[in-house]
A = this chain, B = another copy of it.
Amino acid sequence: MHILVTGAAGMLGRKLTERLVRDGGLNGRQIDKLTLLDVMPPTNPTSFAGKTDMVAADLSMPGKAARAIEDRPNIIFHLAGVVSGEAELDFDKGYRVNLDGTRALLEAIRASGDGYRPRLVYTSSIAVFGAPFPESIPDDFHLTPLTSYGTQKAIGEALLADYTRRGFCDGVGIRLPSIVVRPGKPNKAASGFFSGIIREPLAGVEAALPVSETVVHTHASPRAAIGFLMHAAGLAGDALGARINLAMPGVCCTVAEQIASLRRIAGERVAARIRRAHDPLVARIVDGWPQRIEARRARELGFKAESSFDEIVRIHIDEDRGGTFVD
């Protein structure tokens, strides 16, 4: 089996690649080839027995998408994209990468003309939803994004569904909740603090909290996100019917509950490294975000998230900090 990962140099792309290399297979089939694509050259996985193809390319540039699918990958994980904060700051770049890049990939698949119909797993986001919300967002709630990023993701979902309905590809769109705890440096996403207030204190560093502790949000660990992607890759197409875009489950909790988990697991000294620093811009953006996601269909289809925020904190310590933290 041949797998293409776009956005392979990003956080989820790297973790997905590691997992695929470690497993050597996906859904019971051996992986013979991995094509890893990103605008910056992805790292070649050293311990992979199969063939690898490293591609530095922007899918929105002419010919790049056709080149990316030249060897007809069976499964495509389309993770490439500009994050929410950046898409809001740079309107042109957001539409070029998130909309035109996705459309170029779909068009390249359609243009293949040889019956090629890959499973295409598209990472959407709960940013497709926009306030005001009911207490819990059902699967049939309308998409009224309040950011350009959310708009671009909603459009990507619509295109994916139509190209799938027409038989050009075999798409599954998964709306990720906030992925927490993100390892490494903060990125430009407005949701960055949800990870920062756990990651930085565990590393012995102060972290700013730009919103109120009463803010409610839905989270899943990077490990759960990789699980969603792999599960989506193996879903039978007819299990989905025409509604191929699914909100993913997650742990729904307040910022105060996040902090309580951190305190329970790492102690008061660590939790005290969180500094209240209200940021009206971030607070306004986060106010427009969904709080509780029902994700009934996804749960019924076997997508699994963590069952508590404690579990999310422990996964971060285990997976990204070698089991330890700075007391």
A253 is an interface residue with CB less than 8 A from chain B: no
A148 is an interface residue with CB less than 8 A from chain B: yes
Roughly how many angstroms separate A243 CA and B142 CA in the complex, as a whole number? 10
**Cβ–Cβ contact A166 & B242, under 8 A:** no
A165 is an interface residue with CB less than 8 A from chain B: yes
- Which residues in B have their C-beta under 8 angstroms from that of A8? none
Roughly how many angstroms separate A151 CA and B162 CA in the complex, as a whole number? 7
**Cβ–Cβ contact A242 & B130, under 8 A:** yes
**Cβ–Cβ contact B91 & A146, under 8 A:** no
**Cβ–Cβ contact A145 & B162, under 8 A:** yes
- Which residues in B have their C-beta under 8 angstroms from that of A165? 146
Q: A131's closest neighbor in chain B, by CB?
A: B242
Q: Which residues 5-32 of A have a CB within 8 angstroms of B? A: none
- Which residues in B have their C-beta under 8 angstroms from that of A274? none
Roughly how many angstroms separate A242 CA and B166 CA in the complex, as a whole number? 32
**Cβ–Cβ contact B159 & A151, under 8 A:** yes
Of B144, B148, B162, which is within 8 A of A243 by CB? B144
A161 is an interface residue with CB less than 8 A from chain B: yes
Roughly how many angstroms separate A139 CA and B243 CA in the complex, as a whole number? 19
Q: Which residues 141-190 of A have a CB within 8 angstroms of B? A: 141-146, 148, 151, 154-155, 158-159, 161-162, 165-166
A140 is an interface residue with CB less than 8 A from chain B: yes
Q: Which residues 235-291 of A have a CB within 8 angstroms of B? A: 242-243
- Which residues in B have their C-beta under 8 angstroms from that of A148? 162, 166
**Cβ–Cβ contact A143 & B158, under 8 A:** yes
Q: A151's closest neighbor in chain B, by CB?
A: B162
**Cβ–Cβ contact B144 & A161, under 8 A:** yes
**Cβ–Cβ contact A91 & B154, under 8 A:** no
Q: Can you list 7 contacts pairing A with B, beta carbon distance less than 8 Å? A: A139-B142, A142-B143, A143-B143, A145-B161, A145-B162, A154-B158, A158-B158
